[in-house]
Structure 1
Amino acid sequence: MNIHMNSTGRSEDLSTFNASTTPTTEDRNEYNFIRCILLVITTILLLTLNPLCLVVLRHVRSIQETTKIFLRSMTIADLGMGLFQALPMTVLAISETEHIGEVFCQVLSFAGEIFIYGPQMSILLLTVDRYISVVYALRYPSLVTVKRARISVCLLLFTYVLPVLTNSWLNVLIYYLRNQDCRRVTHDLLISNYRSCKRCLPLVAN
C-alpha cells in the first residue's frame, strides 16, 4: 500500500515538473518573433553593407591594391553568406515552413558550404598581408604584388571548394551504388546511347 502511494506521488510530482518546464505556446511565439527580428536585421545588414563596401573599395585610393583584393574576397564571401544562408533562413522563419524543395535544398547546402569558410580564409589572408607590411615594410611592394595576391585568393578559394565538390561527387557515387533503380536507369541510358552511336557510325563513315 505504501509502495503504491509512493509511486503515485512520484508520478504526480513528475507530471507537475514536466508541466512546469514544458514551453508554452506563448513562449514559442516569443522565441520565433525574436528570432525573426534578428534574422531580418542580419540579412538586411549583410545584403546592404557588403555591396556598399564593394563600392567604397572601388573608389577609395588610399588603400593599397593588394589589400583591396583581400578585402573584396572577404566582402564577396560575406555577401554570399547573406544570399545563400541568411536570406533563406529568414524566409523560412517568417513563413514558418520547414519543408523546401529537394533541389533548392541541395543548392543552398552546396553554396553554404562554399561561402561559410570564405570570410575566415579572407581574414587569414588579410592578417598575413598586414603582418608582412609591418615586419617587412621595405620589402612589402616586392613580396606582395597584385598578381600574387590574386593567385593566393584563387588558390585559397580552390582549397575550400575542392572538398565540397569531392564530397558532392562521393555522395552521388554512394547513392548510385546503394540505389538499384538508379543503377538500372543509368545502365539502360548508357545502352541506348551506345546503340544509337552504333547506328550513326556507318552513316558518318559513308
Structure 2
Amino acid sequence: MITPDEAELCYPHLGNYSCRRIVRPHSVYVLLYIILSSISVLTVTLNLLVIIAISHFKKLHSPTNFLLLSLAVSDFCVGFIFIFDILLLDNCWYLSAGWCMFHVVLSIIVPTASTGSIVLISIDRYIAVCDPLHYPTKVTVNRANISVVLCWFCSALYTLGLLENIKHPGGFNSCIGECMPLMHPVVIILDIFLTLIFPAIVIIILYVRVFVVAVSQARAMLSHVAVVKLQGSVKVNKSELKAARVLGVVVVVFLLCYTPAYLVSSLYGTLSTFYFVKCLYYFNSLLNPMIYVFFYPWFRKCVKYILSLQILKSGSSQHTVKRESC
C-alpha cells in the first residue's frame, strides 16, 4: 500500500532516490491538460498555415516573408515542445534520459532561433523604411535565406556549447525523474545577455529609428514638402511602414512574453511560478500567427484557400495573392 509520502514521489519504489512530484486535485490536472493541449494544437495548426501559405504561393516569396517563415517554423516547433512540458505538469519526467536531453536541447535551440529571426526581421524593416532606394539590392531572397540558415546553425552551435550535461544525459540529475538543463551560473547570466538583453537592445534601437523616420515622413507629407518625383517611393514607404507597424506589435508581444521567463529563471523562482512564465514564454508562438490574421487580409485569404483544399489544384501556387511583406 502506498503511503502519503510515497504518493508525492515520481517513483515511489525508489524511495529517496526519486524526485518529489507536485500533487494537485484531479480536476485541476484535467483542466490544465485541456487548456495546455488546446494551446499546443492551436500553435501547431496556425503556424503550419503560415508555413504552407508562404511556401506554396509564389507571390509571397519575398525576403521579409522568408524571414517570417523562419519565425513560423520556430513557433511551429514550440507547439511540439509544449507537449513535453505538459508531461512535466507534476514535475516528473517518465521518459528516457535521451528524450529528456532531446527536449532540453530543442527547448533552447528553437527559442534562440526565434529570437534571431525577430532580430533579422527588425533589420529588414529598418533597411526597408530608412533606406528604401537601396533595399532591393541590399536585401535579396538569397541573402534572406542565407541569414535564416546561419541563424539556425548558430542557434544549434550555441546550444551545444551551452549545456554541460549534453554528453551525459541524466548523469547529473539530483534525483530520478528530473529533466533540467545543467548550466554554470556564469553561463546562465551570459545566456540572458546574449538571448534577451542584447537582442532587445538591438530591436529597440532599430524600431526607434524606424519610428523617427515614419514621423518625419508623415510630417513631410502633411506639409507638402515631398517632391512630386518622389511620390512613387512615398507610396512604397507607406506599405513598408504598415509592415513595420505590424512587426512592431510582434516585437512588443515577443518582449512581453520572453522577459518574465528570463527574469524568473535568473532569479531561480519556484517551479509553480516558473511554469506559469514558461507557458507565457511559449504562448508567444500562438500569438504571432493570430497577429497576422487580424492585420493581414492576404493571410486570411490564404487560409481560406488552404482549408478549402484549392491548393491541391494544378497551378494553385500561381494564385494571385496581394503581395505584402509581413
- Sort the Cα spacing of 1:44 and 1:165 in 2 relative to 1 into closer, same or farther, 3 A: same
Matches within 5 A, 1:1-206: 28-63=25-60, 65-83=62-80, 85-91=81-87, 93=89, 98-168=93-163, 171-172=166-167
Residue 29 (structure 1) shift: 3.3
C-alpha distance in 2, partners of 1:97/1:159?
31
- TM-score, normalization by structure 1: 0.61
Q: Indicate the percent of aligned positions where both proteins have the same amino acid.
A: 26
The 8 Å contact of residues 78 and 118 in structure 1, kept in 2 or not, is answered as no
Q: 1:107 to 1:157 in 2, by over 3 A?
A: same
Relative contact order, higher structure (CA 8 A, sep 6+) = 2
State the alpha-carbon separation in 1 of the partners of residues 33 and 148 from structure 2. 34
1:97-142 CA-to-partner distances (Å, cap 9, x unmatched) read 6422111111111122111222222122112111211111111101
Distance 1:108 1:62 in 2: 36
How far off is 1:169 after superposition?
7.1
Distance in 2 between the 1:111 and 1:143 partners?
A: 32
Deviations 1:140-160 (A, max 9, x none): 101101121122222222322
Q: What is the number of residues matched between the two proteins?
A: 149
Greater helix content: 1
Question: 1:113 and 1:107 mapped to 2: Cα distance?
Answer: 10
Cα 1:127–1:167, aligned 2, differ >3 Å: closer, same or farther? closer
- C-alpha separation between the residues in 1 aligned to 2:65 and 2:84? 29
| CA root-mean-square deviation | 3.1
Paired with 2:92 and 2:159, the residues of 1 have a C-alpha distance of 27
Q: Which has the larger radius of gyration?
A: 1
Residue 33 of structure 1, CA deviation? 2.9
Give the TM-score normalised by structure 2: 0.40
Q: Quick check: 1:39–1:89 contact (8 Å CA) kept in 2? A: no
Structure 1 equivalent of residue 280 of structure 2: none
Cα distance, 1:61 vs structure 2? 5.0
Q: Is the 8 A contact 1:92 1:98 kept in 2?
A: yes
Q: Look up the equivalent residue of 1:125 and give its one-letter code.
A: L
Name the amino acid aligned to 2:86.
Answer: T
In 2, the alpha carbon distance for the partners of 1:101 and 1:64 equals 41
1:78-111 per-position Cα deviation (integer Å, ceiling 9, x unaligned): 111112x112233555x99642211111111112
**Do the aligned residues in 1 keep the contact of 2:44 with 2:77 (CA within 8 Å)?**
no
